[in-house]
Structures are given as C-alpha cells and as structure tokens.
Structure 1
C-alpha cells in the first residue's frame, strides 16, 4: 500500500482528490489536512509515503509547510496547484525546497477527463523517489568545498554550455546558475522537464530569472547562437531544442525516452555542432534521458559533468551517465559552476 496524506483547504477539492485516489486499491489515504500547521503535524505523526500539497493554505502556506516537512521528516511531496501566477511562483519555490513534482488542479474543461488517472500515476511515481533532508539546509554553501584539480579541457575556447535536468531540477539549476560568475559569457542552453501544463512551464523562465539574477528566456526558432552570449535559454514546453548551422532550432519530432523536450536531442546536436568547444551538464532526474547524449558530447571532446548522488533529489539520469562513462566530472551543482568558470577564456573572466 502507498500511504497518502492530502493537504488541501477546499473541502470540494479534498473530495475530488479522495474520490480520484480511491479508484486505485493500492493507494490508501491515511489523513487529511486543511492548513499548513496541521500538515506538518500529521506528517510527523502518520509518516505517509506521499503528501499531496496545496500551495495556498491558511495559518501556514504550502511552501512553508514543505520547507518544514523536508527539514524535519523528509517525505515525497506532489504539489497540486492552480495555474494562477502567484501560486505558480510558490509552486516553483516549493520544488526548490524539496517537493518532487507538480500536477495542475482540474481546470473545469475538457482537459479534466483523465485528471484522476494523471493524479494516481503521479502519486505512484512520486512514492518511489528517495528524498533527502531539506536541500536548502544541505546545499546552500555551508558544505565544505573540496580542493579539486583544475578541469582538463581540450584547449578549445568554451563557446556553449548545455544543461539537462528533470525531477529536482529547479533547485539544481538555481544552485548552478547562481554560482556562475556574473561575467560568464558562453550561452547556456537548458532542457528542464516540466511535467505540467503550459502555464506552469511558461512561468518557469520568470521564476528562474528571479532566483538567479540572470537573463532567462525560452528559445525562439532560428535565433543565432552568437546573439545569446551570457544568456540562459530554455527549451519551450513540448518542443525539442537543437543547434544546427549556428542557429537554434525547435522541433515537434517524436519524444525521446517519453520526453519532449529531450535532453538527448539537445546534447547530440551540441556534440555535432560544437564538439570540444562545448560543455555538457546532466543534473538530477528520473530515467535515462541525456545519458547517451552526454556520452556523445564527451566522445566529441566536450567537457562533461554529472550531478553527484548526494546532492540529487533523484539519482537517475546522472547515474546512467556515470555508468556509461559519459561524465568526466561528478560534482554538486555549485562546484560544476566553478569548473565551468575555469573553462572561460582568461580574458573574459571577471
């Protein structure tokens, strides 16, 4: 049995959650909370396998409740949130604080037809993830920085960085981008799997820009790579991002590893286009998307990184890369950033 705690202040929405989960006999609701204080108390007392968390709660917000839970009794949390802009930013803050995934609440239109199935699937998926103690407590710079040898590059000037991330990615990306020097000039192309509707994905760029102080935007077809120096460019919702003949290209090609956008698609194109003048980084996430593409990059001479297990919310994609020998360096995100800074041409460093 998968033991679930429902956290939602609306009695109507709690009923909907309850009825949807009841269709799976292996999902057992062990408690319900209508506010954040009660949620934290029930997690400590009931120790559920999964928490479904609303963001807008009385007495204590869903974000603060998430922070308390991840600090005191780490538990996989599925955020069930609306697409309201204020709530979207709280949702991404909760993901950065350790929540695992997000599911949009029913909209009241045709998209609700299979909402119950998607909820049950998300709860099952989240229940399998081994979460760690509050990432903000462990990864905010208080860990000792080891004395690492310099990154060995091919000698080519670093012209582009490609990053792939999935579950746990918002926090890992924030740590990495915050730690890059302000004068870092190579463009950063990123695929972040967002398992939610388009409003959630579109708001991600604004949230990430606010968290990191960097110029973050979604890719536009036919944009020349040389025009995006110093910027962070994300793959748009449900579109593959590639580099071809010096420009960004977007594609509706079939998913890879059930993912669109796919990290492999980006990495493979960067390997072909930039070879040893690129760096690839594969961060936390479930599955294997990006591992083979990172190997392609390393085989082409690029400097490659994978996030280390201790700092991952889910050690899936980076583990697959490590097993393939695709990652030359296995480090937490902030140290990946430090190594990337070393690869800049000496004259462009701050």
Structure 2
C-alpha cells in the first residue's frame, strides 16, 4: 500500500484528489493538509510515501513547504498545480528544490478525460523514487552543497575546441540544469542544446524557458527548426514540447519522429546527431533522471571523441539515466553539475569564437 498525504487548500479539489486516489487499491490517503505548515508537520508525524502538493497555499506556500520537507523529512513530492503563470514559476522552483514531478490540475474541459488515472499513475511512479536531503535545503544556516568541499577538477584533455554542448535531463532536471548553467562563466559562448523531459501539459513546458532564463541569467529559449548552430553562440536552446531536436548539416532540426524510450524529445536523438555532426568538438552531459534515455547516445558521443559527463549519484534526485551511462562506460567524468560546468569552461574557446 502506498501511503499518500494530500496538501490542498481548496475543499473541492481536496475531495477530488481523495476520491481519485481512493479508487486505486494500491493507494491510501493517510492525511490531508490545508496549508504548508500543516503539511510539514504531518509529513514528520505520518511519514507518508508520497505527498501531493499544491503551490498556492495560505500561511506557508507549497514551495516553502517543499523546501522544509526536503531538508527535514525527504519524501517524494508530486506537485499538483494549475497553469497560471505565477503558479507555474512556483512549480519550477519546487522542482528545483527537490519535488519529483508535476501534474496539472483539471481544467474543466475535454483535456480532463483520464485525469484520475494519470494522477494515480503519477503517484505510483513518484513513490518508487528514492529521494535525498536536497542540496538546496538550508541546514544549520548553510546548504549541504556548501558544507561539502568540491572535488578537484581533472586536468583538461588535449583535443578540439568546444563547439557545442549537448545536455539531457529528466526527473530532477530543472534543479540540476540551473546549477550547471549558473556555474558557467558569464562569457561562455559555446551553444548549449538541451533536452529536458517534462511530463506535463504544454503550458507547463512552454514556461520552462522563461523560468530557466530567470534562474540563470542566460539567454534561454526554445529551438526553432533550421537555425544555424553558429547563430546559437551564447544561447541555451531547449527542445520544444513533443519535438525531437538534433543537429544536421550545421543546422538545428526539429521533428516528430517516433519516441525513443517512450520519450519525445529524446536525449538519445540529440546525442547521436551531435556525435555524428560534431565528433570531438562536442561535449555531452547526462543529468539526473529516471530510465535510460541518453545513455547509449552518450556512449556514441564518447566513441566519436567527445568529452562526456554523467551527473554523480550524490547530487542526483534520481540516479537512473546517469547510472546507465556509467555502467556502459559512456562517461569520461562523473561529477556534480557545478563541476561539470567548470570542465566545460576549461574546454571552451578562449575568445568565444566557435571552431
């Protein structure tokens, strides 16, 4: 039995959540909270397997409650939120603070068909994730990341100047991407192409670029089909919702080819194209996520001379995709996101000119 704590201030929505979860014989609602403070208290007392978390709560917000829970009682959190812009940004902040996934609340239209089934499926999926005390959580006045001295950065290998960075991430990715991009130097000009799996509706996914730009101070946008890679200097380009992103003949291309590992966009599609197109002038980074998308593509990149990175287990929300890459021998280095950024900075052209 998977024990669930429901956090929601609306009595109507709380009833809907309770009834939807009760219909699944594997799920049991063990408590309900109507504000963030009560949520933190109940997590400590009841120790549920999963928390469904609303963002807009009285007294203490869902974001603040998420941060407290992940610092004090690490528990898988599924954010159940609306597509309101303010709430979207709070949702991504919660994902960066350690929440595992997001499900949009019912809209009251045809898109609601099967919502109860999607909720129960998401709760079951989230319950399988082993979460950790999140590095962003404040403990005794400083974060765990600050308390742990960084590992030394290996010496940069000789090779081609860095022409493109390909990044893949899934569950836990918003936080890891933020850490990586923030740690890159301000003058970093090498294009960064990123596939982030977001298991949510298009309004959630579209807002991600604006949120990531605000978090990192970088030029972040969704890729457009046919853009020359050279024009992407100094930019972070994301694969749009439901589109594969790849590089071919010096151009960034988008398509709706078959999903890979049930994913579209797929990290493997991006990595394999970069391996073929850019070879040793590329770097590949596979960050936190469930499943194995990107592991074989990262191996392909390494076989073509690219420098490849997998996020280390200690800093991952979910050590799935990076673990698969490490088992395949696909990663040249296994490092936390900020240390990956330090290596990328060493590899980038000194004058910011693409090779």
TM-score (norm 1): 0.98
Which residue of structure 2 lines up, in the alignment, with residue 151 of structure 1?
156
Partner Cα separation in structure 1 for residue 279 and residue 146 of structure 2: 32
Distance 2:343 2:104 in 1: 37
Deviations 1:37-88 (A, max 9, x none): 1101100000000000000001100000001111110100000000000000
In 2, distance between residues paired with 1:140 and 1:84? 32
Q: Does 2:340 align with 1:332?
A: no
In the TM superposition, what is the alpha-carbon distance from 1:201 to its structure 2 partner?
Answer: 0.3
- Find the partner of 2:240 among 232, 236, 242: 236
Aligned pairs for 1:207-286 within 5 A? 207-286=211-290
**Cα deviation code 1:189-232 (max 9, x no counterpart):** 00000000000000000000000000000000000101010100
1:135 is displaced (CA, Å) by 2.3
Equivalent residue number for residue 16 of structure 1: 16
Q: How many angstroms apart in 2 are the aligned matches of 1:240 and 1:119?
A: 26
Aligned-pair CA distance for 1:269: 0.4
Q: Tell me whether 1:80 sits opposite 2:84 in the alignment.
A: no
User: 1:157 Cα shift?
Assistant: 1.2
Q: Distance in 1 between the 2:118 and 2:135 partners?
A: 27
Per-residue deviation at 1:2? 0.3
Question: Within 2, Cα distance between the matches of 1:253 and 1:134?
Answer: 36
User: Which whole-Å deviations, capped at 9, do the CAs of 1:118-157 have from their partners, x for residues lacking one?
Assistant: 000000000010111122045644421222321324x111
The whole-number CA distance in structure 1 between the counterparts of 2:34 and 2:130 is: 26
In structure 1, distance between residues paired with 2:20 and 2:277:
47
Residues 305, 289 of structure 1: alpha-carbon distance in 2 compared, 3 angstrom cutoff: same
Correspondence 1:283-294 to 2 at 5 A: 283-294=287-298
8 Å CA contact 1:139–1:311 kept in 2: the answer is no
Q: Which residue in 2 is equivalent to 1:98?
A: 98
Corresponding residue for residue 51 of structure 1: 51
The offset of 1:346, in angstroms, is: 3.3
Measure, in 2, the Cα distance between the counterparts of 1:101 and 1:146: 29
User: In 2 relative to 1, CA 123–68 (structure 1 residues): closer, same or farther, beyond 3 Å?
Assistant: same
Encode CA deviations 1:285-330: one digit per residue, 9 max, x unaligned. 0000000000000000000000000000000000000000000100
Where in structure 1 are there 5+ consecutive unaligned residues? Answer: none
Instruction: Give yes or no for contact 1:159–1:186 (8 Å, CA) kept in 2.
Output: yes
Mapped partners of 1:228, 1:347: distance in 2: 16
Aligned length: 348
Secondary structure of 1:135's aligned partner:
coil
Aligned mates of 2:83, 2:53 — CA distance in 1? 14
| Alpha-carbon distance between aligned partners in 1 of 2:305 and 2:103, rounded to the nearest angstrom | 39
Q: Which runs of 4+ in 1 moved over 2 A?
A: 137-143, 146-149, 345-349
- Give 2:182's match in structure 1, choosing from 178, 201, 206: 178
Please tell me whether the aligned partners of residues 202 and 237 of structure 1 are also in contact (alpha carbons under 8 angstroms): yes
- The yes-or-no answer on 1:162 pairing with 2:137 is no
Q: Which runs of 5+ in 2 are unaligned?
A: 138-142
Q: What is the alpha-carbon root mean square deviation over aligned residues?
A: 1.1
Do the aligned partners of 1:165 and 1:282 also contact (CA within 8 Å) in 2? yes
My pick for the range that moved more, 173-182 or 138-147, is 138-147
Three-state SS of the structure 1 residue aligned to 2:334 is: strand
SS at match of 1:136: coil
State the distance in 1 between where 2:202 and 2:332 align.
Answer: 35
1:22 is displaced (CA, Å) by 1.2
Q: TM-score, normalised by structure 2?
A: 0.96
